[in-house]
Every structure is written in C-alpha cells, then in structure tokens.
C-alpha cells in the first residue's frame, strides 16, 4: 500500500471516528443527566488540547521519527474513546453520577484531544518528507479531502449504529482506531532516517509574521 493512501485512510478514519459521535452526544448526555453546557465543554476541551499540543507533537516527530508519534496519537485516541465508553457505562449503572461522571468524561475527552493532536501534523510532516516539492500541493489537498469525507460519512454511520445502543458508536470509533494503528504499524515505513532527525528542533513563535496570516485564515475558516 502506498504511503499516501495509508495516510489518507489514517486521517479519514480519525475524523470518521470523531464525527461518529456527533449524533449521539445530545441524547447520551440527556440520559446521563448532563447539561448542555457540560456537553459543550467536552468539545471545547478536546479542541483546546489539540490547540495546545499539536506543535509539540510536530517537534517530537523531528526527534523520534514520524511513525512512533503517529502510532502514539492513534492509540491514545483509541484509549480515550474506550475510557469515554467505560465512564458512560458506569454512569448508566449509577456507579458514577453528577460532577464525578462529568469529570471522568471530560478527562477522557481531554486525553483524546491531547493524543489526536499528534495525527494531523505528523501525517503532514510525513507527506512532506516523501513528496517532491512540485507534488506537495496536490497531495496535501488529498489529505484535506480525507477530512471532508470523514465528516460526511461519520455522522451517518453514528446515527445508524445508535439504533443498537448509544455507546455502540463510541466503541466502534475506538475499535476503528485500533485497526488503523495496526495498519500503520504493519505497513507504513518510517520516512525520517535516524541521521536526519533533529535532537532539539527550534520552535516557531505564534507571533512569527510568516505564519500570522495563515493562522488568521485557519481561525476564520474554523469559526465559520
């Protein structure tokens, strides 16, 4: 399997696994006695951890290689969803309730955001490693298409699986991530040889004028 196709499937599976939850978070929260504000904090916390740690994972991939960081991101994503399903099940069993239940569920979402933030920057860095300069725009667009397709199919699959139980889509997402990690571990070669790695890569400032316009564009797109 070509690395580009595997990276495409990796990102597609990641966003599919995330968007599968969109149709069930509302009804699940009502059954567990959570408020709309608390459910909103799940998404906010997830995105906040991605914002904080994405650059860190990108730098770490310069030190230890792309493949280990990509695997860590996928496996952490899977673990966070299994934890979310476990805590929600404990909520159904009345073992957890109220703020204790909310805190455990929020922890699992923060964990998911922290690890899933490794997937996109590492996949993009991997693609930059293996792609000639003249093909990078095209190949990065292909990775972008993976996100779009994941958002299209994820909610539909989540709604269908919810007929078998509201926690089924959560377990499906975690299982899909484990399968994804297996493919990456088995098929994807390391793109960055040991002698090419940087012991202490320099960090890029948020105030760097070279990236400020790109940050503003990205912010406006995601707000819309």
Question: Could you tell me where the DSSP H helices lie in 93-211?
Answer: 98-116, 119-130, 136-161, 168-187
Q: What's the whole-model pTM score? A: 0.86
How far is 79 from 28, CA to CA, in rounded Å? Answer: 20
pLDDT in tens, 148-174: 899 999 999 999 999 999 999 999 999
pLDDT at residue 4, rounded to an integer: 83
pLDDT over 70 (residue 194): no
d(CA 148, CA 70): 20
Average pLDDT over residues 103-111: 96
Sign of the C-alpha dihedral computed for residues 196, 122, 109 and 203 taken in this order = positive
What is the C-alpha radius of gyration for the chain, rounded to an integer number of angstroms? 18
Instruction: Give the domain range for residue 147.
Output: 3-223
CA atoms of 180 and 182, how far apart (whole Å): 5
Output the pLDDT for position 41.
94
CA distance 70 to 127: 12
Residue with the larger pLDDT of the pair 182 and 213: 182
- Cβ count within 10 A of residue 128: 14
213: DSSP letter:
H
Q: Look at residue 6 in the predicted model and tell me its pLDDT.
A: 85
Which positions ≥6 away from 61 have C-beta within 8 Å?
Answer: 69, 70, 118, 121, 122, 125, 192
Q: Can you give the pLDDT at residue 144?
A: 86
More confident residue, 4 or 157: 157
Q: Residue 22 sits in a domain of what CATH number?
A: 1.20.1250.20
pLDDT of residue 200: 58
What pLDDT was estimated at residue 27?
93
Domain count for the chain: 1
Is residue 121 within 8 Å of 58, Cβ to Cβ?
A: yes
Question: Are 34 and 101 contacting, i.e. CB atoms less than 8 angstroms apart?
Answer: yes
Report residue 191's pLDDT band, with 50, 70 and 90 as the boundaries. confident
pLDDT band at 32 (very low <50, low <70, confident <90, very high): very high
């Amino acid at each position: 399997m070509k690395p580009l196709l595997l990276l495409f499937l990796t990102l597609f599976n990641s966003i599919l696994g995330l968007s599968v939850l969109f149709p069930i978070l509302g009804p699940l929260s009502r059954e567990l006695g959570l408020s709309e504000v608390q459910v909103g904090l799940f998404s906010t916390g997830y995105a906040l951890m991605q914002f904080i740690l994405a650059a860190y994972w990108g730098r770490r991939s310069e030190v230890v290689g792309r493949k280990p960081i990509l695997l860590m991101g996928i496996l952490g994503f899977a673990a966070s969803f299994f934890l979310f399903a476990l805590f929600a099940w404990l909520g159904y069993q009345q073992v957890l309730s109220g703020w204790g239940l909310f805190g455990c569920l929020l922890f699992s979402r923060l964990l998911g955001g922290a690890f899933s933030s490794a997937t996109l920057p590492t996949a993009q860095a991997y693609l930059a490693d293996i792609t000639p300069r003249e093909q990078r725009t095209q190949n990065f667009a292909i990775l972008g298409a993976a996100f779009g397709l994941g958002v299209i199919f994820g909610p539909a699959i989540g709604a269908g699986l919810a007929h078998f139980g509201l926690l089924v889509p959560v377990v499906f997402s975690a299982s899909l991530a484990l399968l994804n990690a297996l493919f990456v571990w088995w098929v994807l070669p390391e793109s960055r040889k040991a002698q090419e790695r940087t012991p202490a890569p320099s960090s890029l400032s948020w105030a760097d004028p070279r990236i400020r316009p790109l940050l503003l564009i990205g912010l406006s797109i995601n707000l819309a």
